[in-house]
A and B are shown apart, each in its own frame.
Chain A
Amino acid sequence: MSEVKFSKEHEWIKLAGDIATIGITKHATEMLGDIVFVELPEKGSSVEKDGNAGVVESTKAASDVYTPVSGEVIECNQAIVDDPSKINSDPENQAWFFKLKIKDNSEMNSLMNKEEYDKFAKENGS
């Protein structure tokens, strides 16, 4: 059972073997408000650590989604594309964004654990 890690851009990442599942945190959804649109990276495309990997839009504004690690996109969550409000209701579980076959396990090292992230979110939240 692997630990969930967090990025400063408010993504969560869960690793199982070399497959990472990535989404945005509950804290992120609270800052964004009601999410009404999501754009995910293309299946089969490569994404680079801290690079752009999609967009979420709330009623107010658009925000970029970044990937906390590099890899190849092997699956996208069509359910949140069809109904973006799922991201608000269950951001850290059912409403994952995409799955990556990761390139370099060591990229996980710079990410925060839950405790560190909660502290970071509290200090950087609005």
Chain B
Amino acid sequence: METQKTALYEYHKSLGAKFVPFAGYQMPVQYSSGIVEEHKFTRSKAGLFDVSHMGQLFIKNSANLSTELEKIIPIDLKNIKLNQSKYSFLTNESGGIHDDLIVTKVEKGFNVILNAACKENDFKIIKDALGNKFELTLYEDLSLVALQGPKSAEILESVIKGVSSLKFMNGNNFLYNENKIYITRSGYTGEDGFEISLSNKIVEIFVKTLVSKGAQPIGLGARDTLRLEAGLCLYGHDINETTTPIEANLKWAISKRRREEGGFLGYNKIKSDINGELSRLRVGIKPLGKIIAREGTKIFSYDGNEIGSITSGTFGPSVNGSIAMGYIKYDFIKPGTKIFLEVRGKKHEANVTELPFYKKNYVR
């Protein structure tokens, strides 16, 4: 398959971005200032991310849509409010995760944001589950940009009146130069921020306007360090087809009614996980030194038994140290538990810690 480019590719290029192939797209991993500076800029001001590679799916409302969708997504779609967003997943039969996603209830149906690498497969799964009764559109002509950081509301409000009154995980329609766009107050950095869905035709001028107001383009590299500091999962690494939402410590993303009633794929496994038959859990891990524990690093107990492995690890610029997440045997999940990480044949001391590493700044 040919590598795809987002509508902002030439703009990234003009800024001197370094590109990497990601989920079939050429994406900017960093710009000239580098990952650490970009990360800190997002935490202190406002970072602008091109996330147009992600899938933007619209499912048009028709009889029983909520009932049908609830069979594959474990949230309460019957009682979700208009313009409310929820984080959830597409589960599989064994309780694993096909993908994590954000569902937003809109006037004419549901908007679903999907991971780039999974979107084609997700579309098939949803289409198969819903049958031919519903109209599904995976938009190719829409871009998605995220504006994240403490200055986001002020900057976006200066371009689009009214956005700053949105509450976290809520959205609405807005007008930009007479174009209808959809904005949610959400993101994946642990900061206050917005995700803006708009036509490919106007995205470059929109982004340039935000930059002129003080936002700065940020690459995928800093997006990764930001989300890891915020304790958020990256699909294909921290969660996948073999991890259940309960093992992933994401029970909160399954609505209470759904946890009790079930009626979605993999419920038997998820129910038994909820009822305490858990063998492992995703936890935060902090090495004592500067050593970076990358994905796949083996975790050992203090007495030398292998008890798990790292799924994400990097340097956290805002916590100024090495951070990681991984799955660990249930007996060792208590924060403060001393463990060892094996990196290049040597064992390094680390502690199990609470997540997130960096406290979230959401506007409730």
Candidates A36, A55, A60, A61; contact of B344 at CB < 8 Å = A55
Residues of B within 8 A of A55 (CB): 344
Q: Which of A33, A60, A61, A84 is B290 in contact with, Cβ under 8 Å?
A: A84
Interface membership of chain B positions 1-44, coded 1 if the CB is closer than 8 angstroms to chain A and 0 otherwise = 00000000000000000100000000001100011100000000
* Pairwise interchain contact B315-A59, C-beta atoms closer than 8 A: yes
Chain A residues positioned under 8 Å from B322 (CB to CB): 36-37
Q: Mark A69-106, 1 if CB is under 8 A from B, else 0.
A: 00000000000010011001000000000000000000
On whether the beta carbons of A37 and B36 are closer than 8 Å, the reply is no
* Residues in A whose Cβ lies below 8 Å from that of B18: 126
A34 at the binding interface (Cβ < 8 Å) = yes
In the complex the two chains form, what is the Cα distance from A59 to B317 in whole Å? 9
CA distance A33 to B34 in the complex (A): 6
**Contact assessment for B290 and A34 in the assembled complex, using a CB-CB cutoff below 8 Å:** no
Q: How large is the interface on B (under 10, 10 to 19, 20 to 34, 35 or more residues)?
A: 10 to 19
Q: Which of B309-341 contact A (CB under 8 A)?
A: 314-315, 317, 322
* Shortest beta-carbon distance from B324 to chain A in Å: 13
Contact of B315 among A36, A39, A81, A88 (CB under 8 A): A36
Q: Point out the residue from A33, A62, A126 that lies within 8 Å of B35, measured CB to CB.
A: A33
From the candidates A33, A36, A81, A85, name the one contacting B292 in the complex (CB within 8 A): A36
- Which one, B30, B294, B317, B344, contacts A33 given CB within 8 A? B30
Is B315's CB under 8 angstroms from A33's CB? no
Residue in A33, A61, A84 whose Cβ sees the most chain B Cβ within 10 Å? A33
A58 to B290, CA, bound (A): 12
**Number of A-B residue pairs with CB-CB distance less than 8 Å in the complex they form:** 41
Checking B34, B221, B291 against A37 with a beta-carbon cut-off of 8 angstroms, the contacting residue is: B291
| Inter-chain contact A60/B29, CB cutoff 8 Å | yes
CB distance from B357 to the nearest CB of A (A): 15
- State which size class the interface on A falls in: 10 to 19
Q: Are A37 and B29 in contact (CB under 8 A)?
A: no
Q: Using Cβ atoms and an 8 Å threshold, which residues of chain A touch B170?
A: none
Interface centre among B18, B34, B290, by most A CB within 10 Å?
A: B290
Tell me if A62 and B294 are in contact (CB < 8 A): yes
Residue ID in chain A nearest B33 by CB atoms: A34
Q: Does A57 contact B (CB under 8 A)?
A: yes
- Taken together as a complex, chains A and B put the C-alpha atoms of A84 and B322 apart, in Å, by 13
- Inter-subunit contact A37/B30 (CB<8 Å): no
Give a binary string over A110-126; 1 marks a CB under 8 Å from any B CB, 0 the rest.
Answer: 00000000000000001
Q: Taking CB as reference atom, which chain A residue is nearest B34?
A: A34
Which residue of B is nearest A31, CB measured? B18
Q: Does B143 contact A (CB under 8 A)?
A: no
Q: List 10 A-B contacts (CB under 8 A).
A: A34-B36, A36-B36, A36-B315, A37-B292, A59-B314, A59-B315, A60-B35, A61-B294, A81-B290, A85-B36
Residues of A participating in the B interface, judged by any CB pair closer than 8 Å: 33-34, 36-37, 39, 55, 57-62, 81, 84-85, 88, 126
Q: Which residues of B contact A (CB under 8 A)?
A: 18, 29-30, 34-36, 221, 225, 290-292, 294, 314-315, 317, 322, 344
Q: A59-B225, A59-B314 are in contact. List 10 more A-B contacts (CB 8 A).
A: A33-B30, A34-B35, A34-B36, A36-B290, A37-B291, A37-B315, A58-B35, A59-B36, A59-B221, A88-B34
